[in-house]
């Protein structure tokens, strides 16, 4: 069998309820800073939610791209502007027909669609600035490609909460099969009433800060955000080591109760990376704080990685960013690998009352002694049992 060429992560940018500046984000991960979680009044439902909201001012789209004008795409533009130097260097090196785009999303421009429909119901006309293409799932990928003037493959993945984790598997295949030299991947989701009402109707939303793996957990907090990565064959400090995808198809909205599909994705990622379970220095859990997800994920983690691998859920800090969750949390893993002057792992922020009905897992606490992380894994699980695990690591391990 011919060995596959390595795929490197040349740079990364993100924005979420914690902010966007890397050093500040690392500090908040270290102390478990949940101050980005804010109250949100839903006009559609009449309910008040606790959400992870982006408070930074977002850039405006250029005039020729106004048909792409959604909050999701402005979140992505904020990330693109952070990556301007790296993108310029790559685009000056490679043909724009050899640069691909794969974005994950679950909301796309639904918030703009909600506002447009509200006006139509009152005035029988849509807003002048509303374009139907804004609510299509393809919008984030098309925006990034149009903004950068790219001519390579560009598409979105929408598999709910695993969307922007799966983009890494797609990009890896595109580069290793010589379809592209560079692939820009990531995800974006913004707050909208449809999502909040949908999860609320499933009785899956917590009115208080979520408590992953706690006896007292009672649901998720929705969040918004975006993250973008640049993947290529150009050697870099961080390498994409392995991806694993599975679909247990147990239920339309509930995972397999024993985590069979989740475990399969983790095992596949380890196998592709040529690693054993002892190689993982840190695992970013999907960790939604719903009863079923935490139960099945703890079983899968215990089965595949054992009870010693340090792990945490960062959703109490960002909210569950849904279609952007995979990229957001792989971005957090990337930040942990980039540490130079200190070595710590993301704190698992919860009430400390671990559910004794769950298999024991090593949740990161303030007392966790962390060696410099060199190889890390991130899990993302979605409706329908659509699962993905991604492993990234430092090139000199």
pLDDT digits (tens, 9 = 90+) for 67-108: 999 999 999 999 999 999 999 999 999 999 999 999 999 999
d(C-alpha 112, C-alpha 135), whole Å: 7
> Does residue 319 register a pLDDT over 80?
yes
> Does residue 396 register a pLDDT over 80?
no
Contact between 315 and 161 under an 8 Å Cβ cutoff? The reply is no
Where do the DSSP E strands lie in the chain? 7-15, 37-41, 48-52, 99-104, 154-157, 182-189, 225-232, 238-247, 282-284, 310-312, 362-363, 375-382, 386-394
Residue 327, CB-side half-sphere exposure with 13 Å CA sphere: 41
Distances (CA, A) of 230 to 63, 99, 340: 26, 10, 21
Number of CB atoms found within 10 A of residue 63's CB: 7
Name beta bridge partners: 229: 12, 185
d(C-alpha 159, C-alpha 384), whole Å: 9
Please indicate whether residue 266 or residue 121 has the higher confidence score (pLDDT).
Answer: 266
Give the residue-averaged pLDDT of 24-48.
Answer: 93
- Gyration radius of the chain's alpha carbons: 20
> Does residue 205 register a pLDDT over 90?
yes
Give the residue-averaged pLDDT of 211-227.
Answer: 97
Give the residue-averaged pLDDT of 21-49.
Answer: 93
From 259-263, 269-273, 380-384, the region with the lowest mean pLDDT: 380-384
State yes or no: is 320 an active-site residue: yes
Contact between 61 and 69 under an 8 Å Cβ cutoff? The reply is yes
d(C-alpha 11, C-alpha 377), whole Å: 18
Q: Compute the mean pLDDT over every residue in the chain, rounded to the nearest whole number.
A: 94
Give the residue-averaged pLDDT of 342-358.
Answer: 95
Number of CB atoms found within 10 A of residue 61's CB: 19
> Does residue 1 register a pLDDT over 60?
no
> Does residue 2 register a pLDDT over 70?
no
Give the residue-averaged pLDDT of 192-219.
Answer: 93
Catalytic residue chosen out of the listed positions 68, 78, 286, 348: 286
Catalytic residue chosen out of the listed positions 34, 68, 78, 161: 161
pLDDT classification of 343: cutoffs 50, 70, 90: confident
Give the residue-averaged pLDDT of 209-220.
Answer: 97
**Alpha helices by DSSP H, 236-324:** 260-273, 291-305, 315-318
Percentage of the chain surpassing pLDDT 90? 82
> Does residue 249 register a pLDDT over 90?
no
Identify the H or E element spanning 24.
helix 22-31
The pLDDT of residue 300 is: 98
pLDDT in tens, 138-195: 999 999 999 999 999 999 999 999 999 999 999 999 999 999 999 999 999 999 999 9
CATH of domain 7-394: 3.40.47.10
The pLDDT of residue 3 is: 60
Give the residue-averaged pLDDT of 44-68.
Answer: 94
Give the residue-averaged pLDDT of 195-222.
Answer: 94
Distances (CA, A) of 349 to 91, 241, 357, 363: 40, 28, 19, 9
Closest CA to 40 of 31, 27, 50, 29: 50
Question: pTM of the full predicted structure?
Answer: 0.96
Please indicate whether residue 215 or residue 5 has the higher confidence score (pLDDT).
Answer: 215
> Does residue 357 register a pLDDT over 80?
yes
State yes or no: is 161 an active-site residue: yes
d(C-alpha 143, C-alpha 64), whole Å: 11
Give the residue-averaged pLDDT of 24-43.
Answer: 95
State yes or no: is 311 an active-site residue: no
Give the residue-averaged pLDDT of 241-267.
Answer: 91
Percentage of the chain surpassing pLDDT 70? 99
The pLDDT of residue 47 is: 87
Would you give the distance in Å from CA 391 to the centre of its chain? Answer: 14
pLDDT classification of 254: cutoffs 50, 70, 90: confident
Would you give the distance in Å from CA 306 to the centre of its chain? Answer: 24
pLDDT in tens, 233-248: 999 999 999 999 999 8
Give the residue-averaged pLDDT of 184-209.
Answer: 93
pLDDT in tens, 360-395: 999 999 888 778 899 999 999 998 889 999 999 999
Give the residue-averaged pLDDT of 311-322.
Answer: 98
Contact between 139 and 108 under an 8 Å Cβ cutoff? The reply is yes
The backbone torsions φ and ψ at residue 266, rounded to the nearest 5 degrees and listed phi first, read -65, -45
Catalytic residue chosen out of the listed positions 68, 78, 320, 348: 320
Name beta bridge partners: 391: 242, 377
**Alpha helices by DSSP H, 124-227:** 139-148, 163-176, 193-201
Token duo for residue 289: 């704080």
The backbone torsions φ and ψ at residue 32, rounded to the nearest 5 degrees and listed phi first, read 70, 45
d(C-alpha 118, C-alpha 86), whole Å: 41
The pLDDT of residue 391 is: 98
Give the residue-averaged pLDDT of 288-304.
Answer: 97
Contact between 267 and 393 under an 8 Å Cβ cutoff? The reply is no
């Amino acid at each position: 069998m011919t060995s596959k060429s390595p795929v490197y992560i040349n740079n990364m940018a993100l924005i979420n309820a914690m902010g966007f500046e890397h050093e500040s984000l690392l500090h908040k991960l270290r102390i478990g800073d949940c101050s980005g979680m804010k109250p949100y009044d839903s006009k559609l439902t009449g309910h008040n939610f606790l959400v992870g909201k982006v408070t930074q001012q977002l850039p405006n789209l250029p005039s020729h791209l106004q048909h792409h004008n959604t909050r999701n795409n402005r979140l992505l533009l904020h990330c693109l502007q952070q990556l301007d130097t790296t993108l310029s260097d790559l685009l000056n090196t490679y043909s724009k027909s050899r640069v691909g785009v794969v974005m994950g999303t679950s909301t796309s421009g639904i918030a703009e669609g909600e506002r447009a429909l509200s006006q139509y119901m009152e005035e029988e006309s849509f807003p002048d600035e509303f374009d139907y293409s804004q609510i299509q799932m393809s919008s984030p990928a098309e925006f990034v490609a149009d903004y950068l003037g790219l001519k390579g493959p560009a598409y979105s993945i929408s598999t709910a909460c695993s969307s922007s984790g799966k983009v890494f598997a797609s990009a890896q295949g595109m580069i290793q099969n010589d379809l592209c030299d560079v692939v820009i991947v990531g995800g974006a989701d913004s707050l909208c009433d449809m999502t909040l009402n949908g999860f609320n109707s499933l009785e899956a939303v917590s009115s208080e800060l979520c408590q992953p793996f706690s006896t007292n957990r009672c649901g998720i907090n929705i969040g918004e955000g975006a993250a973008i990565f640049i993947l290529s064959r150009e050697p870099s400090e961080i390498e994409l080591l392995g991806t694993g995808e599975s679909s247990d198809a147990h239920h339309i909205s509930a995972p397999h109760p024993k985590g069979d599909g989740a475990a399969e994705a983790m095992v596949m990622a380890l196998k592709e990376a040529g690693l054993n379970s002892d190689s993982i220095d840190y695992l970013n859990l999907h960790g939604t704080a719903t009863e079923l997800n935490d139960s099945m994920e703890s079983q899968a983690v215990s089965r595949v990685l054992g009870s010693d691998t340090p792990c945490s859920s960062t959703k109490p800090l960002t909210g569950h960013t849904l279609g952007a969750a995979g990229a957001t949390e792989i971005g957090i893993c990337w930040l942990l690998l980039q540490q130079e002057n200190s070595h710590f792992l993301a704190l698992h922020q919860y009430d400390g009352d671990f559910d004794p009905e769950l298999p024991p897992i090593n949740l990161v606490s303030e007392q966790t002694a962390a060696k410099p992380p060199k190889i890390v894994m991130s899990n993302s699980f979605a409706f329908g049992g659509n699962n993905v695990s991604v492993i990234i690591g430092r090139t000199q391990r």
